[in-house]
Amino acid sequence: MDLVAGLEAWPGAALIRQSGTAYLFVNAAHILGIGLLVGAILPLDLRLLGCFRAVPLAVIGAFLTRAAAVGLALALSTGFWLFTVKPAEYLANEAFLWKLGLLAFAITNIGLQHGGGFRAAMARGEVSGAIRLRAAISVTLWLGTLLAGRWIGFL
């Protein structure tokens, strides 16, 4: 509980608790990060799954991967900042815990997908069964994370 109290006492948390404008901008940045992440990762995963075959992976792969990485960094940093406003309340929220779990699995899946020659395979346009499987898992995890995030406000 000391860590939770420390997070809640953080000046950044106090700022967005006291300023509706600051909260608005942090929340908007969080939504932007999510949009960039999901808006980049879904088309890439769908391409890896065999959709949009007319678009070469070598053309879109690196760009979408980088765009998703920027979105993830923005969503994680702003999401953590929003969490510090009411950490005890969020930690007691079942939907938030689901979101964290799905997020952890999604990030782990990124590490698995990008290990072992993924970039070279994309540059050659070669998509193995393992890459397809991790792309399907990615779609499921990111959409689940998105839904769990929306669910937080309803509990």
DSSP per-residue codes, 79-143: HHHHHTTSHHHHHT-HHHHHHHHHHHHHHHHHHHHHSSSHHHHHHHT---HHHHHHHHHHHHHHH
pLDDT for residue 34: 97
Q: How far apart are CA 5 and CA 110, in angstroms?
A: 32
pLDDT for residue 124: 84
Lookup: tokens for 40: 């980049």
List, for the chain, all residue ranges whose pLDDT scores fall below the cut of 50. none
Nearest to 85 by CA among 6, 19, 13, 155: 13
Phi, psi of 149, deg, nearest 5: -60, -40
pLDDT for residue 100: 98
- Burial class from Cβ neighbours inside 10 Å (0-12, 13-18, 19+) for residue 28 reads exposed
